[in-house]
Amino acid sequence: MAQKSKIRIGDKVPYFTLKDQNGTNFSIENLVHKKNMVIYFYPKDDTPGCTKEACSFRDEFEDFKDLDTVIIGISGDGVASHKEFEKKYNLPFILLADTKKEVQKLFGVPKSALGLIPGRVTYVVNKEGTVIYIFNSLRKAKEHIKKAKEALQNNIRKH
């Protein structure tokens, strides 16, 4: 079944509020016009590919900080699961609980083959709130970090 809307490059990032790993409401709106954002959707906490991706974002965290960028990971897992995931791997960024999959639908994140696993998609958003890059690959978890960094560096060079 095709999804009604799908975020594309050039679109404004939709505003949403979800609970973070500390149970606090986090609103994307508070970052627009202040920070670049890497919003990455991933299937599940503490699974091999998702752990590899999260740890790669962790390992490159200072580079993203230098690019004035906030990293936001989103999955359907709950607050408690995110807190455990954060603690276990010492993740220094925001994890949001999209337990009703509403934000995944808002962005039009596709499911994997057979529709059993939520997709792995990374959106790079500039300070104006415009989506400047999208990378969709369930298998290449670590590639998301490289592609996001390149998109941010290219955006900075243009401005």
Enumerate the active-site residues. 50
CA contacts within 13 A on the Cβ side of 151: 23
Nearest to 51 by CA among 69, 12, 32, 77: 77
Residue 102 dihedral angles phi and psi, to the nearest 5°: -70, -40
Cα distance from N-terminal residue to C-terminal residue, the chain: 40
Residue 125 CA: distances (Å) to CA of 36, 39, 47, 74, 149: 6, 8, 26, 15, 11
Site of tokens 């039009």 = 108
Interatomic CA distance for residues 6 and 4, integer angstroms: 7
The token duo for 65 is: 């900080």
Reported residue count of the chain is 159
